[in-house]
Amino acid sequence: MRVNRKVSAVAAGVAIAALTLGACSGSSGSGSSGGSGSGDEVEVFTWWAAGSEKAGLDALVGVFDDQHPDIEFVNGAVAGGAGSAAKDLLQSRLQAGDPPDTFQAHAGMELQDYINAGQLEDVSGLYDEFNLREAFPEDLMELLTQDGKIYSIPSNIHRANMLWSNRAVLEDNGIDPDASYASLDEWFADLETLQDAGVTPLSVATAWTQVHLLETILLADLGPEGYSGLWDGSTDWEGAEVTAALEDFEQAMSYTNDDRDGLDWPEATQMVIDGNAAFNVMGDWAIAAFEEQDKQLGTDFTAAPVPGTDGVFDFLADSFTLPTGAPNPEGSEAWLETVSSVEGQTAFNAAKGSIPAREDADPADFSEYQQSAMESFSQDTIVSSLAHGAAVPVSQLNLITDATSKFTSGASDLAAFQSELAAATAGS
Ligand code: GAL
């Protein structure tokens, strides 16, 4: 293992202040004009800066250190769930010609943004070199490919439409912790019971987690076809079905904690872990937080699809890129080799809660939950996550997030919210 690790997790609040410096990465190679690095280091830009997410990154770095002992990993992580601070900072660095050696990007429309801006190199040569052409699911490859060129290497697949609950809190309030809710209304009846008992029924955090909740409610109410139609224009954002879904979202938000806007996902999930809330809707990176604290699935907590979304896998995948002008492209390639390897994907995903993107990883290396997620991914209807870069470009997601914040903070009513969502996605 290397010892001289440089860590530069930047707190969300100071990320923007640091952005002109480029030096916030702590990388000596950072700030050069590109391609001129010594090749003995790699700055890896992610938002896995703390807690269980950092544990996942650390596991991947452990494999990297074994596979590439001569290349130093430089941690360019920027704190803030779902890249809420990292993506803005990254954009500024890319525009200033100061790219990291590799960065995390979601497969799908988010990746498309970087491709359209000419910020990524084609890495299809690495797919040949590392023998990856058959390694990943075809659908996923489509999201990474344009005009025959492949722009990143996937590290994992997460499921967004998951509901986490504290079994003791539910039992103490006369609610069956194994209840499977066929609809949002059935679930809301139990949330009502919890609220009457003075328990926080549903924990949520800052704006992006509210968009995450919104996405799963749209999916529950519109079904996979109607939900997917929101992104290709075949579902009318102004229609009555969307109005009904937004009413359900409003109702769901009425069961949430008042201090939500000051929290990020780890704190909201922690409320369920600690028994301070009954439920949390979060992607399956949440399971890594439960497990890190020795909580047992089925004993301490339950993991289930969000009510009304059973049989649907709300999909997202993290992937790693080779930015145009990366200062240490040899380091980038070494990182991509580790990310793509069975060893890298096994170590990373076992710690992160996701499932490997590679189809040849051994399910026996993963937890009971992850084995069930693998099964769901192979047989469920797959839809693209809104909050995590699969369904819409970053610019649209930003508009949707702003509209959602306005609505949940009381600055707009439901009709205005619906119009703003329609306007945000117009042209998609
Ligand atoms: C997602 C990302 C996940 C996880 C999550 C919370 O966007 O794909 O890997 O990090 O954000 O930060």
145 and 250 together in one domain: no
Among 159, 316, 355, 394, the mutation site with the greatest number of ligand 1 atoms within 8 A of its Cβ is 316
Which residue has the least CA distance to atom 3 on ligand 1?
A: 82
187 and 281 together in one domain: yes
Residue 272 forms part of a structural domain:
yes
Indicate which atom in ligand 1 lies nearest the CA of residue 318.
8
SS3 (DSSP) at 61: helix
355 and 406 together in one domain: no
63 and 197 together in one domain: no
234 and 170 together in one domain: yes
Residue 384 forms part of a structural domain:
no
Best CA proximity match to 217, nearest among 257, 166, 252: 252
307 and 322 together in one domain: no
Residue 5 forms part of a structural domain:
no
12 lines ligand 1 (CB under 6 A): no
Whole-model pTM: value is 0.92
287 lines ligand 1 (CB under 6 A): no
> CATH number of the domain that 139 lies in?
3.40.190.10
Q: Could you list the pLDDT tens digit for every one of the 428 residues in the chain?
A: 232 333 333 333 333 333 333 333 333 333 333 445 566 999 999 999 999 999 999 999 999 999 999 999 999 999 999 999 999 999 999 999 999 999 999 999 999 999 999 999 999 999 999 999 999 999 999 999 999 999 999 999 999 999 999 999 999 999 999 999 999 999 999 999 999 999 999 999 999 999 999 999 999 999 999 999 999 999 999 999 999 999 999 999 999 999 999 999 999 999 999 999 999 999 999 999 999 999 999 999 999 999 999 999 999 999 999 999 999 999 999 999 999 999 999 999 999 999 999 999 999 999 999 999 999 999 999 999 999 999 999 999 999 999 999 999 999 999 999 999 999 999 65
Residue 366 Cα to ligand 1 middle (Å): 19
153 and 177 together in one domain: no
SS3 (DSSP) at 45: strand
Kind and range of the H or E element at 383? strand 381-384
400 and 252 together in one domain: yes
Residue 197 Cα to ligand 1 middle (Å): 33
Residue 82 Cα to ligand 1 middle (Å): 4
How deeply is 281 buried, as exposed, middle or buried, from its count of CB atoms within 10 A (0-12, 13-18, 19+)?
buried
408 and 275 together in one domain: yes
121 and 194 together in one domain: no
CA distances from residue 92 to 10, 95, 103, 194 in whole angstroms, order as listed: 15, 5, 13, 45
Q: How many residues does the chain have?
A: 428
**Domain span holding position 235:** 159-314+389-424
Q: Into how many domains does the chain fold?
A: 2
